[in-house]
A and B are shown apart, each in its own frame.
Chain A
Amino acid sequence: MMDRRGFLLFTSILFLGNAHATPAQMQAAMRKVLGGATPRPGKVKLEIAPLIDNGNTVPLSVSVDSPMTSAEHVKAIHVFTEKNPQPNVLSVRLGPRAGRASVSTRVRLADSQTVHAIAELSDGSFWSGSADVVVTVSACLEDGFI
């Protein structure tokens, strides 16, 4: 029979075990996309403000340097985090009709961390980029009630 303190410690460890992905989990998620390939750093520009107002809603843009022609274009863009509960953020599928290989959205970031992006090109090559962000939290949180 566990005493109260032991029980709380046990459940808090269980919860913590689910609450954050590890860099290894992120690598595994990236490997799923890469197959056996190694991405080359370059071509991928990940734009996030270095200091963030609130981790709930973080504007993020990814753009990939590519002429976006039938012969040479970006097929997919993937974004990953190392510290969110899950490593995957988004995957975009596109082609020459996009005109520009880019997407802007807003993401949630659980903590200060490095965000990674991988682009898959029509010639089968993979390119990568990353951005370091510091996540602050607004003071005077609501504490879950209005």
Chain B
Amino acid sequence: MSGRRAIVTVPKQAKRGEVIEIKTLAQHAMETGYRRTQEGVAIARDIIRTFVCTYNGAEVFRMELHPAIAANPLIAFSTVATESGTLEFKWSGDNGYTVTETAGITVV
């Protein structure tokens, strides 16, 4: 059982033109590449590198992540509620990591 890899919190409904807050959490160790085991062996970097949010297919937010981003990264940002539809969130990173979550929104 692998469990949920990301949690997104999006208002279900908003007024047209309203600026809404979106909070996202990804479950990821964000291994920096600077740590060593007790025996002194370097632990390879393994991080999320990119986060993209699209709104009915149009990109509205993008973030590049570096090892300085903490484990289990929170990314909170805002977007204008333009129309009803689907917000898609995609995380991608080292070692082929890719996670997608979606959330529907009704704009009145």
Cα of A107 to Cα of B69 in the assembled complex, Å = 4
Identify the closest chain A residue to B30 (Cβ).
Answer: A108
| Other-chain residue from B55, B64, B66 in contact with A86 (beta carbon distance below 8 A) | B66
Chain B residues whose C-beta falls within 8 Å of the C-beta of A57 in the assembled complex:
70-71
Interface code B31-46, partner A: CB below 8 Å = 1, 0 otherwise?
Answer: 0101000100000000
Determine, out of B4-12, B72-80, B92-100, the stretch whose residues face the partner at the interface.
Answer: B72-80
A108-B67 contact, Cβ under 8 Å, with A94-B60, A98-B78, A102-B78: yes
Distance A84 CA – B80 CA, assembled complex (angstroms) = 34
Given A97-B55, A97-B82: A104 and B74 within 8 A (CB)?
A: yes
Closest Cβ neighbor of B34 among chain A residues: A85
Residue of B nearest to A63 (CB): B78
Is B63 an interface residue when CB atoms closer than 8 A count as contact?
yes
A interface, size bucket: 20 to 34
Q: Which of A60-98 contact B (CB under 8 A)?
A: 81, 84-86, 88-98
Question: Which secondary structure dominates where chain B touches chain A?
Answer: strand
- B68 and A108 contacting across the interface, CB-CB below 8 Å: yes
Do A108 and B38 have beta carbons less than 8 Å apart? no
Q: Are A98 and B61 in contact (CB under 8 A)?
A: yes
Contact A105 B71 (CB under 8 A): no
With a cutoff of 8 Å between Cβ atoms, the chain A residues found around residue B71 in the complex are 56-57
CA separation between A55 and B73, bound complex, in Å?
Answer: 14
Cross-chain pairs A/B with CB under 8 angstroms, 18 sampled = A56-B70, A57-B70, A58-B70, A85-B67, A89-B66, A90-B65, A93-B63, A97-B82, A99-B19, A99-B80, A103-B75, A103-B76, A104-B75, A105-B63, A105-B69, A105-B73, A108-B70, A145-B38
Chain B residues with a Cβ under 8 A of chain A = 19-20, 32, 34, 38, 55, 58, 60-71, 73-80, 82
